[in-house]
Amino acid sequence: MKIISIVNQKGGCGKTITAVNCAAALHKKGYKVLLVDCDPQAHATFSLRKESRVYITDILEAIAGNQELPSEGLLTQVADNFYLVPSRIGLASLEHKLSVRDDKLQILSSFLSKVSANFDYCLLDCPPNLGVLTLNALEASRYSLVPLMACDFSLRGIEILKDILIMLKEYKGSHPIPFYLLTQVDKRYNFSKEFSEKVKKQLGNLLLKSTIRINISLREAASAGKTIFEYKADSRGAEDFLALATELEKITSQSKWTSLFLRGDKFSEVYLVGDFNNWKRDERYRLNKVGEDIWSINVPLETGKYRYKFVAGDSWFNDPHNALAEDDAFGGKNSLLVIE
């Protein structure tokens, strides 16, 4: 099961609309899909209007208490092979209880491991903050999808989120591979076009090619308790989410991804070189400056062992955030990646 967290600490960026309709689009393409509402505000649950017997609060409480999960109604059916784990406001108090546990970041992972054999994809709709529930979702995820509304405020949160991902990598040795998605794009206005170009320049291949255009049908569908495909299948919103599902399908089915980062505010540009590109500077392996001092890149690699370094100007150096290394032929160190 491929787990994707839909995350942004900023509200109003189209996160829930993205989670609900991306899940529906993947289902429309023939996949078995689970949508988990991890937000106490329960917007994804409200958007689908399905009656439920078991909520994510019940599930996480049972796992935290080493109790058996409910035998009936564990998942709420949206359609054939499309299920929801709904949320409600009580999840907020559970977040406080979990925060004092040593295993506070693994509770959601424990649940998902029990149902993973039944689904191809799992999408996690996260709260608009970076608290314990969001960290649980990031801990459980292989990928994270970050919706960015077409405004400058969206860019200010990228560095904060990247700090959290770095913290996770240093804590457990890995973090979800982040990809960014432009939402609420209005192509009638020059501002949207200029903003899109600015984001593309800043994020490079971290930014998905798909965009979600402004479309009133998306909001109307949520108000009606339906996915965009149930409400208006011939809308621009439906077209955009099918394109997004197709791109995610390609990303998650090709080579395994590795996300690398580097801190430094003195660099003008940074390249990744290694066994995978014959140790040559290549624009495809140029890191993107995603914050004032954070550089990042996503790299698709096949299973194997790889040596690599970073190059900034005339300086070649190993990855300071990767303890796995070996001696090189020049008295220095090569960082190592082991892709399994």
- Greater confidence, 23 or 165? 23
Domains defined for the chain, CATH in brackets? 2-253 (3.40.50.300), 256-339 (2.60.40.10)
Lowest model confidence (mean pLDDT) among 110-114, 169-173, 224-228, 235-239: 169-173
- Answer whether residue 99 shows pLDDT above 90: no
User: pLDDT, tens digit, for every residue of 28-81?
Assistant: 999 999 999 999 999 999 999 988 889 999 999 999 888 988 878 899 999 999
Q: Could you tell me the end-to-end alpha-carbon distance of the chain, in angstroms, rounded to an integer? A: 16
User: pLDDT, tens digit, for every residue of 111-168?
Assistant: 999 999 999 999 999 998 888 999 999 999 999 999 998 777 777 767 777 778 877 7
Q: Mean pLDDT, the chain, as a whole number?
A: 90
Q: Report the pLDDT value the prediction gives residue 207, as an integer from 0 to 100.
A: 94
- Answer whether residue 245 shows pLDDT above 70: yes
- Greater confidence, 191 or 48? 48
